[in-house]
Amino acid sequence: MLAAFVREHWRAYASAAAMLSCIAALTVWIPRQVGHVVDALVAGGLEGPALIEQLALLVAAGLVIYLLRVGWRLMLFKAAYQLGARLRTRLFARLALQGPAYFQQQRTGDLMALATNDIDAVEQAAGEAMLAGFDGTQTLVLVLAMMTLAIDWRLGLAALVPFPLMALAFWWISKHLHQAAQDSLSRFGDLNQQVQESLAGVRTLRALGLVGRSERRFAELAGNAAEAAFRSQRWEAAYEPAVGMTLGAATAIALAVGGWLVAQREISIGQLTAFTMYLGQLIWPMFAAGWVLALLERGRAAWARLAPVLDAPLTLADEGRAALAGSAAHAELRAEGLTFTFPGARRPALEGLDLTLRPGRTLGIVGATGAGKSTFVRLLLRQAEPDAGRLLLGGVPLPELPLAALRAHIAWVPQEPFLFSASVAENIALARPSATPADVEAAARLAAVHDDIARLPKGYATEVGERGVTLSGGQRQRVAIARALLSDAPLLVLDDALSAVDTGTETAILEHLRELRAARPDRSVIVIAHRLSAVMDADEVIVLKQGHVIERGTHAELLHLGGWYAVQWRYQQIEASLEAE
């Protein structure tokens, strides 16, 4: 991907490279020019205006180098930041397409670390490392050429004697740095995971008195991350002593050999001065080599973590190209022999389920916990694929429909509604961003939450906090219901969405749903509930037990049947009367 990105932004990289070439040329010109000035001064042939002119040239060269360095950084970093933005966008898009099964195998903290630390490392490798490597290599070649060809080849070869040892040291350091960088990125992911879990479950931690324990765990992980980062930095820092020792040895050799050549009158003092300046200029290429290797090793380690996520196959294929015939609002939903077993489970969560939901009808699904009610919703939303049987919408099997089209057809209110860190109005309007304040308020009234919102400090403009933390469980559920009701989706699915509201509020919401059905007779509704009062008006109710349909019919028919439904209904009615007292 990096090579493709460089080809796409070749103009920016070529411009930066051209500027660096000019910098390198000026950089190697300056010591040579200083050597000529020194020799002229020693000979007494340079003074007055001529000296000022030569000094002005050197100052001008320094100023041009400064401007060019600013220019190449602007060109390069702009391109590198675009790579970072593209990688983050690609990562988010890939994760958004993955199904729940993928996230059951991944940790949120690690995924967050990929989007921050790891992509930063790849971005630096694509930006600073590439151009610093080009600049350092170019400068090294030009400086060595000037040292050996323009001054004295014997002096140049003598000064290069310690450099093979530095190359060996660089190889050894890079090997350990790669491992340290991988460990550092992994430890940062562990720390991210702990922060995410602690903040998400802060209420539970407080209620159970586990805040101190969580703090100790965080301190331990923070210490591990800091220690891993320190080890990585320590190996990066090892490049500097290797460079310093090499250049120190090279300088000592150059002064010894150069002093002897001056004594033999084979080179001038000006040439030796220029040579020592060139040795000083080798500091940057050597440091650049260490810096580039460090950035590349961090980038390699980051890409090794990032690439599997970007290339991970989708847990749910989105290859459907079919379209619903006629009006999507009049599409019939049908399940034929639907069977699904969770990985590792001994028995199916659903087995041989058959049902038909015609447009404008309401289907109730009830049963004990673990009966398979929410499993059916997962299959309907294509969060999982059935082992056998199929679901059809408008006569089209769900896998043949694009995921976006399928999910646009369904307004779903889950058991645990998710609210974003935005205002109440923005959370409700999420399903229809073009909705007016009047539309939002109308949906809130249908969900029996308008009065609660009106009592909030800023009404509909009140920020609900992360995951809706400032609202009660019942308020969050009703805001989610309002969001679904505002949607234009032809199929409304309430997955135990009334469990956190009292019976009075439930009655009001169900009455509003009846009014909505009268206003939109083509809208189908699936109500999954534990409280049977939520499904008493359904056109059909199916009772699930261990994934099988054990009863089916209207509310009255099931009461007359005298089975599980009738027993549960009587029990809940007694319970409601006791609560009323």
Residues 28 and 109 in one domain: yes
pLDDT tens digits, one per residue of 416-474: 888 888 888 888 888 788 888 898 888 888 888 888 888 888 888 888 876 666 777 77
| Range from 194-203, 215-224, 479-488 carrying the lowest mean pLDDT | 194-203
At 325 the pLDDT is 60
pLDDT tens digits, one per residue of 508-536: 888 877 777 777 777 888 999 888 888 88
Among the candidates 310, 345, 360, a domain finishes at 310
pLDDT tens digits, one per residue of 60-73: 877 887 887 777 67
Task: Look at residue 315 and tell me if it is in a domain.
Answer: no
Residues 193 and 338 in one domain: no
Residues 247 and 375 in one domain: no
Task: Look at residue 359 and tell me if it is in a domain.
Answer: yes
Count the domains in the chain.
2
Average pLDDT over every residue of 549-576: 88
- Does 581 score more than 60 pLDDT? no
Residues 573 and 529 in one domain: yes
- Higher-confidence residue of 484 and 8: namely 484
Residues 401 and 285 in one domain: no
Task: Look at residue 475 and tell me if it is in a domain.
Answer: yes
Count of CB atoms within 10 A of residue 499's CB?
Answer: 17
Residues 341 and 266 in one domain: no
DSSP 547: T
- With beta carbons less than 8 A apart as the criterion, state whether 538 and 513 touch: no
Task: Look at residue 85 and tell me if it is in a domain.
Answer: yes
* Residue 544: pLDDT band with limits 50, 70, 90: very high
Q: Which of 40-49, 287-296, 407-416, 559-568 has the highest mean pLDDT?
A: 559-568
Q: Which two tokens stand for residue 181?
A: 């960088």
Range of the domain at 400: 331-580
Residues 73 and 214 in one domain: yes
CB under 8 Å to 234, separation ≥6 — which residues? 180
Task: Look at residue 69 and tell me if it is in a domain.
Answer: yes
- Does 178 score more than 70 pLDDT? yes
524-528 vs 362-367, strand pairing mode: parallel
CATH, residue 534: 3.40.50.300
Residues 367 and 502 in one domain: yes
At 363 the pLDDT is 92
Q: DSSP assignment of 126-171, as one string? A: IIIIHHHHHHHHHHHHHHHHIIIIII-HHHHHHHTTTHHHHHHHHH
